[in-house]
Structures are given as structure tokens and as C-alpha cells.
Copies of this chain bind each other. A is one copy, B any other.
Amino acid sequence: VRKARYIDGQTGRIDPADRGLAYGDGLFETIAIRRGLVRYLDFHLERLAAGCARLHIDCPPKAELEGKIRQAAGVFERGTIKLILTRGTGPRGYAPPRPATPTIILLADPDERRFESALAVVTLRTRLSEHEVLAGIKHLCRLEQVLGRLELDQLDADEGLMATTRGTVIGGTSRNLFAVFGSEIKTPDLTLAGIEGVMRRAVLAGAAEAGYKADVTVLSEADLRAADEIFMTNALVGIQSVTRLDERPLDRFSAAQQLRFVLGLDNAG
């Protein structure tokens, strides 16, 4: 493994020939610092390594990344770390240079935002494409989410629900989706689209302790309409209850509350 090139996201600058810029050829992680601790760091690093494997990028050793991230995290009580890992610079053309030296950009900021524990959600017309090799990982090619967010900005809601071009529900523009049916919590299968969120993984791991059976499955919009409770998650906001989906108000929040308790999350992300 070649040594990665680390760049301070606050003061450093990127080479215009970096393949992250040229082709979206890389991955990223957005990591929460809460109560002075880097939350779910292992989950983030495991997803990053999985993404590198999928894209055939040499992932730096876990211990090295962990050290750099903890160093960047500094002494913030509450903050956000953004890590971007690209294949590195290269000549023009899609063919990756061999060997390539990955570029790693680290940016840590204090972040005092308190996230609402409730979300109004609308179904978006913007679709997600299906691609088995690119699904699940947090790669840099995120134009579909940007387009979804542009559509959402015209609407009166906090988050937009996105489905694939074939109509399978995947999640929000930047959140994973959970639907509660009695004592079962279902979340969309992300084999063909979507990002396997770190908080999604935590929820799946903690569901049993919260008294629920967790199930990863294909969900349609009709399934969602029959759900008792819906909540959404990401690494920064934690777990947020959906209080409205399109025209339907939702008034059950107990699974979300129970899971926040089990995972030690507060109401503000």
C-alpha cells in the first residue's frame, strides 16, 4: 500500500487533476463528534474500506486513518468531520494510474446545530438509478441526491423520499428510511441503490434490544402508506421521526424514541 497524501480541508488545496474532481472517483464519510467522542468511527472506517474494495482503490491502513481522524477531531465537544478519499491525481482519461496515491482530505468543524427530532417528508419525482456495483457505498458521484435536494428546495418539507427508476423506495436525499409495522422495523434493501448509512447500521444492530425485529427488505410506496411509524436516520442527525409523509400525518414515535434510548442518542442528533 502506497502512502496516502493527506490534505487539511481548511488550508489545503486540491490538484485540478485529482480524479475525485475529474470523475467522482472516490468516497466520503461525514462523521459526528458528540460529547467529545468520534461517534461510530469503526462503522465509518469499515464502510470506507468496503467502498475502496468495490472501486479497487488502495485503502490506507485502518490504524493510520483512525489516527488522522482523531487528530483532526481535536478537542471539539460537538462537531463534524468530513473525510474525502479519492483515487488521487492522474493523467486525462478514465484509466486509473497504476500505482495511484490516494488523496485524503480531512475537515473538522465545531457544529453546534441541534437537529429537530421530527421531519415533514414529501415524495420526490427525482429518481435514483440502479447499479449493483455502486449501490450501498458512499462514493463521490452524488448528482442524483443533488437533483433531489434541488427539487426539495422548491417544496415545503424537511426531507424528500426517493425511489429508484423502477419505483422501489430507497430513502431520503441524505437519510436512510425505516418503517414500523407492529413489532417489526423494515428498512429498504440497498442492493441496487442508496447508501448504507452508519446510523442505519446502528439501528439494525440495536433493534432487538429495543424490542423490535429488524428486516431489510424491498419496500414500495404502498407499503409505506401502511406503516404505523416512520423514521429516518443519518450519522449527524441521529434518528428523526417522520411526522408527515406527503398528505398523511403520522403520530407514532415510540420506536424512534426507544431506539434513541438504546443507542444513547439524544433528541438533537
Residue from the set A12, A80, A129, A144 with the largest chain B CB neighbour count within 10 Å: A129
The residues in A between 1 and 48 inclusive whose CB is less than 8 angstroms from any CB of B are: 7, 9, 12-25, 28, 30
- A149 lies within 8 A of B96 (CB): yes
Q: Is the CB of A144 within 8 A of B134?
A: yes
Q: How many copies does the complex hold?
A: 2
Among the stretches A61-69, A87-95, A208-216, the one at the interface with B is A87-95
Interface size class for chain A? 35 or more
With contacts A141-B142, A142-B24 taken as known, whether A9 is within 8 angstroms of B13 at the C-beta atoms is no
Cα of A131 to Cα of B152 in the assembled complex, Å: 18
The contact of A144 among B17, B80, B131, by CB within 8 Å, is B131
Q: Indicate if the CB atoms of A21 and B23 lie closer than 8 Å.
A: no
Output the least CB separation between A228 and chain B (Å).
29
Q: Chain A interface (Cβ within 8 Å of chain B)?
A: 7, 9, 12-25, 28, 30, 55-56, 80, 82, 84, 86, 92-96, 105, 107, 126-127, 129-134, 139-150, 152-153, 165, 173-174
